[in-house]
Amino acid sequence: MYKVLIVDDERIIREGIANSIEWNKYGFSLCGMAQNGIDAYEIIKQIVPDAVITDIKMPGMGGLELISRIYKEYPQIIFIILSGYGEFKFANKAMKYGVKYYLLKPCDEDEIINILKKIEIEKKEEEKKDKFLTDINDNFKKVLPQVGEQFLRDFIIGVTYSKVECEYFLRLFDIKETKFKLVVFKLDNGVDLLEKFALKNIAYDILNQNVVYLSTILDNNVLLLIKSIDLSILTDLLSQIKDIFNKYFKYNICIGVSNENSFESIQNMYLEVKECLKCEFYLGDNKIITEKIIEFNKSQDNLSDSTYNEMIAVSVKTGNIERLNLQLDSFFNMIYQEKVEIEMAKNYCIEIFLIILRQGDHKKVRGYAKGLYEIQDKSTLRQISGYIKYIANEIAKKNYDNNTENYGAIISTVINCVDNNIQNYELSLNWIAKKVLFINENYLGKLFYKHTNEKFSRYVVRIRMEKAKELIRSKKDYKFYEITEQIGLGDNTQYFSQVFKKYTGYTPSEYRKL
């Protein structure tokens, strides 16, 4: 329902119009009547009608003065002027206030109804237009952040905007500042859009809308164009953002901040921050970096030595995990100390990684091949070293288990060989290595000691002396020269007697009498 107010100093006219129309039938309701402009003005301020039917000449305040006042404050109100003969000059003045409906006194109800119908159509058209504009405005507000994201992204990647276009966008985003800073949040590779969106929202909450002007997402980076504020205050706020994000998401985040600069220098600010963020490789993740504090070394002189490669390969192959970890720590520390360029450092890490893979079972290490991509994706040397050490330890552990099993078989062969050849005068480590196992004598000696905690020569003496004790105590009453032969000492009974006494504390004769 549209509200109508009737204003006329003649009561009969006011009531005549009021009673002659079925207001509801035509979509209107009579909301009041006034006998002059002064009363009408107060009523209008209270109820704000949609249409006012007013006389021109009235005491106190006439119709034209009322229209001029209301036009300034409520331009949407539609006026219908009641005029008599000779008052058209006043009606013409009302036209400058947008008045276009006139009724000549005395008027009948059909004339009023006809105008009311036109006003209803006009009002509905206005409502449709207002709704359309409101919807457009609402939708524009919804897409404005996306427009801002695209604009900032374009500016950073080098899309050219004219001065006029830049000024338009600055007005559009209500940016009045002349100096800015660019903040770049660098996330791990593989982070989903959800986490990036969450980070951006956290940043807006902490920094608030008055500090952040524009934001966008570029690759794995969340970028904020902010007001230039004190660096110590900004660093504290960025730490809060990082802490809140890490509370909900277990991803590493590194933050870079540019120096203060103009809007036209955004691309340079971004390149400046990217250079700063490269320092993350050596500084480690979860850092706030405000300047480039590391100068990367392009020289490879101190890293070209292949000694590390050989030592690490041997440690993995033999399963010596303790030594392996010390060597890897030394290798990565050398890279850290040299501060070589990131790609060069990764190439060295990939090289050592491939050497480690070659020491494992070819079929089983195929699954580790994806590690090459893992290393390339890592943001810091610490992440790379942790990953490589984990894989190296896995392969070394498997090699150790396999070696232990193989070594156990070798040692069992040695022990069986000793047991079966104890009477053989030629029995020795050299003889077993060359005649039985076909391996290096020194290697076999070390392997035997490692698994038995006893030197091979001492082991053979012990077995021979235990065999001699057994023969001396037997009921067959062996002669000592027979015992000497049966334990592999040939006919050297004197040597046997010396060794036996050293082993038991008794001579063979004394031992037999016990």
One pLDDT digit (tens) per residue for the chain, 514 residues: 999 999 999 999 999 999 999 999 999 999 999 999 999 999 999 999 999 999 988 898 988 899 989 988 999 999 999 887 555 666 677 777 888 888 888 888 899 999 999 999 999 998 898 888 778 777 777 778 888 889 899 988 888 888 888 888 888 888 888 899 999 999 887 788 889 999 999 999 999 877 899 999 998 899 999 999 999 999 999 999 999 998 988 888 899 999 999 888 889 999 999 988 888 899 887 788 888 778 888 766 666 656 678 889 888 888 889 989 999 999 999 899 888 899 999 999 999 999 999 888 777 777 777 888 889 888 899 999 999 999 999 999 888 888 777 777 888 888 899 999 999 988 999 999 888 888 888 888 888 888 888 999 999 999 999 999 989 888 778 888 999 999 999 888 899 999 999 999 999 998 888 7
- CA separation (Å) from 97 to 6, 7, 75, 79? 19, 18, 9, 9
Kind plus residue range of the DSSP H or E element containing 422: none
- CA separation (Å) from 253 to 233, 238, 512? 19, 11, 82
Distance between CA 37 and CA 14 in Å, rounded? 14
**What residues does CATH 3.30.70.270 cover in the chain?**
160-290
Closest of 115, 114, 104, 110 to residue 82, by C-alpha: 104
> Structure tokens of 256?
């870079």
| Identity of residue 179 | K
Summarize the chain as % helix, strand, coil (round to 5).
65, 10, 25
Distance between CA 119 and CA 169 in Å, rounded? 40
Place of tokens 């109804």: 113
Cβ(297)–Cβ(341) under 8 Å? yes
Q: Tens digit of pLDDT for each residue in 406-415?
A: 777 888 888 8
* Strand pairing category for 78-83 and 253-257: unpaired
Q: Tens digit of pLDDT for each residue in 185-228?
A: 998 877 888 899 999 999 999 998 778 999 999 988 999 999 99
- CA separation (Å) from 157 to 179, 226, 382? 20, 18, 30
**What residues does CATH 1.10.10.60 cover in the chain?**
422-512
Place of tokens 């359309």: 132
Instruction: Give the torsion sign (CA, 480, 486, 492, 497).
Output: negative
Does the pTM of the predicted model rise above 0.75?
Answer: no
- The DSSP annotation for 34-59 comes to ESSHHHHHHHHHHH--SEEEEES--S
> Structure tokens of 173?
């985003």
Distance between CA 311 and CA 317 in Å, rounded? 10
Distance between CA 393 and CA 399 in Å, rounded? 10
Cβ(180)–Cβ(262) under 8 Å? yes
Distance between CA 4 and CA 244 in Å, rounded? 58
**Fold for domain 2-127?**
Rossmann fold (3.40.50)
Distance between CA 514 and CA 79 in Å, rounded? 142
**Fold for domain 160-290?**
Alpha-Beta Plaits (3.30.70)
Kind plus residue range of the DSSP H or E element containing 437: none
* Strand pairing category for 78-83 and 101-104: parallel
Distance between CA 495 and CA 489 in Å, rounded? 8
Instruction: Report the pLDDT value the prediction gives residue 136, as an integer from 0 to 100.
Output: 78
**Fold for domain 422-512?**
Arc Repressor Mutant, subunit A (1.10.10)
Cβ(16)–Cβ(42) under 8 Å? no
**What residues does CATH 3.40.50.2300 cover in the chain?**
2-127
Closest of 120, 68, 55, 124 to residue 94, by C-alpha: 68
